[in-house]
Amino acid sequence: MARNKLAAPHLFLNRHFSWLQFNERVLEEARDAKNPLLERVKFLAITASNLDEFVEVRVAGLLQQVEHGIKDPGPDGRTPREVLTELAVRTHAFVNAQYDCWREDLVPGLVDESIRVVNMRALRPAARAHIGNFYTKAVEPLLTPVTIDPAHPFPHVINKAICLAFLLCPKRRGSLPYLGVVTVPRALPRLVQVPSANDAVEYVFLSDVIHAFAERLYHGYEVLSAAAFRVTRNSNLYLEAEESRSIMDSVDAQLHSRRKGEAVRLEIEASANQEIIDRLVANFRLAPWQIFRVNGPPNLSRIAYLYDAIARPDLKFRSFVPRELALKPGPSALFELIRKRDVLLHHPYDSYSSVVRFIESAATDPDVLSIKQTLYRTSENSPIVRSLIEAAAKKEVAVVVELKARFDEASNIRWARNLQDAGVQVFHGLVGLKTHCKLALIARRERGGKIRQYAHLGTGNYNPSTARYYTDLSLLTSDARITAAVQNVFNYLTAYSERPQYLPLFVAPLNLGKSCLSLIERETAHARAGRPAFIFAKVNALLDERIIQALYRASQAGVQIELIVRGACALRPGVRGVSSRIRVRSVIGRFLEHSRIFAFGNGGSTEVYLGSADWMQRNINERVEVMFRLKDPALYTQVFTQVISPYLADTEKTRYLLPSGDYVRGREAGLLSVSRNGFRFNAQEFLIGFSEAHEDMQALPPLPRFVKLPAPRKGAEKTSLSPAHAKSSA
């Protein structure tokens, strides 16, 4: 097939529909009775949070394209208006499925476990009196009731805030009903626990409490009707570079605008009076498809509160203790280990504490002279940031903080200012590019006065909190070529000091995309020459047209291609003559699959790469990203046996992408698992068990036929043990 035919629209799936399918797979986990009940509640809350971001960014962006008259079709041939029209139908169907899950599956399940979410009318007198006291003391002082009239315009409703709308009739004078609006305080939990007469745990929604006492707020009015509602606004930031304004000031100013962006969606209780809906729609200027009448609480993401508030381990996933890196006593023990060999960690199965310790040790070690680090997202009380602040008093510290990390902008501005106040040199990357690479570099004076550099390169953020439930990989190394290249990347970020190449690293936007294409094309050439050829990639999204077309060409040449794409995927697998040798999986389970891994057969000399970038146009062209090769055969054997093999063998949490664009379980797709005789295998649960028991890797299912494991170098570990396991087994 000619190369230009690989750009045909029918060969590409729509990115927005594909993303919505990803959220549908998360919803499947909420409906799956094999998952613990409170975990299912959490999955449902995640789908709501995911959808919020999708609406305020992706749907809002499509709306703007339509309003601006943009008619250019995407790779799948659809125009923005066509996508928006179909997306409206699909999104409404998805929201209906969410609320069906809540009402039909989760609420009855919670009741069976003596956990009830009730309305105020169902409360016993004693419980109602308790809630009345709570309302008087804790809620009413925070409320600002508004009645809409010429002197009181419609209040500004901030993005995603729960509000109550009231239809009010004055008791002493006849007139048309007024509209009243009250914002539910964000400072209070959305679910309020009420006293129970037995062992049951009971909650009532805060909005229901306010509704019950509405006539206290609106003296002189009769409350004819009430409904909880929520407005989602356009949350895209539109930054313009100005010589007179720093990036920090620009982002800070735009954050205030975000709260006032154009309304994109109105969620309102299905029982709402039509007059209330009509007045809200007129105020927010919304089309009918933007109105979501929901049979339940308008903000499902808030039910995650139940997961944290209810101490029922029997209704949650079994807890486990990640492997710790076995080290000798002493502050320099970690540096001594990294000097001897590279260390590869697989989080959350390997504890993230080793990465934290890497930065903490650098901060306190008197022989460490400087620390450089990138920060994209981090935790609220980050021990890493605290260590950087502590280190600034004694050594050179430079941090590149990405202020434009979506929805973490305010947090990152706060961290950047705190770091600056402590004496850290803070940079904000390059104008027009997001700094998304995960790098840390430490310079340390060794014996004899020699300065040695140590580096951390990762696939995930420097966030110890999310590292407990995101799967990611970390490399700790003192390899001089890698550390020198990392140093050059920091020079690029802080001084725009651009080099022709950064080997052994690939760096976006400079050469990472071209390098990925070259690796795919090299595999294509191997296949045409009859040499061993395969491609494995594990990414969060696959949307870049050039990469997809290169994979199509590789498949046509005979390359076997296995892809694990967690979220949106525009590649259409299984098309005869184009992608018949490409198989796409999505794994949705207990942990969020976040690691980016790439493996190439290379004619029998296998290469494995890790990185921070997905195969998306924005990662390749609009961000600073880093991709790096694992040189030690013991480490890439570890990746094959601890990641690739288990995930390709998974039968429980894997869905396969069909040529139609639908996702189905393996048995529905007519695909056999790696093991036979009805074998059931959950990769994430297996890796938890392995991290706890250090079981022999012979327990792993066999590798797929196309995977040829490279032999470890002489003297290297013969099994894919984590550093801690290797040491304890010695």
Which run of H or of E encompasses 691? helix 683-693
Phi, psi of 171 (to 5 degrees): -80, -25
Q: Which of 16, 346, 347, 436 is catalytic?
A: 436
Q: b/e per residue, 419-455, with b = 16+ CB within 10 A? A: beebebebbbbbeebbbbbbbbbbbbeeeeeeebbbb
**613 touches 620 (CB < 8 A):** yes
Helices (H), 2-119: 15-31, 37-53, 60-67, 80-100, 107-112
Phi, psi of 20 (to 5 degrees): -65, -35
Is residue 428 among the annotated active site residues? no
Residue 666, both tokens: 């393996």
Residue 608, both tokens: 């494995």
Q: Which DSSP string corresponds to 278-292? A: HHHHHHHT--GGGEE
- Cα Rg for the chain, rounded, in angstroms? 28
Q: Whole-angstrom Cα distance, residue 20 to residue 38?
A: 23
- Ramachandran quadrant class, 586 (left: phi over 0; alpha: psi -120 to 50; beta: rest): beta
Q: Own/partner pairs for 336-340, CB < 8 Å, 24+ apart?
A: 337/723, 338/454, 338/476, 338/477, 338/478, 339/452, 339/478
Biggest alpha carbon–alpha carbon distance for the chain: 93
Q: Whole-angstrom Cα distance, residue 455 to residue 452?
A: 10
Q: For the chain, what's the residue count?
A: 730
Residue 610, both tokens: 């890790």
Helix (H, G, I), strand (E, B) or coil at 385: helix
Q: Whole-angstrom Cα distance, residue 567 to residue 67?
A: 28
Look at residues 623, 247, 591 and name the one whose alpha carbon lies nearest to residue 438.
623
Helix (H, G, I), strand (E, B) or coil at 684: helix
Burial-class residue 65 by CB neighbours within 10 Å (0-12, 13-18, 19+): middle
Residues near 272 by Cβ (< 8 Å), separated by ≥ 6?
165, 225, 227, 229, 293
Residues classed as catalytic? 436
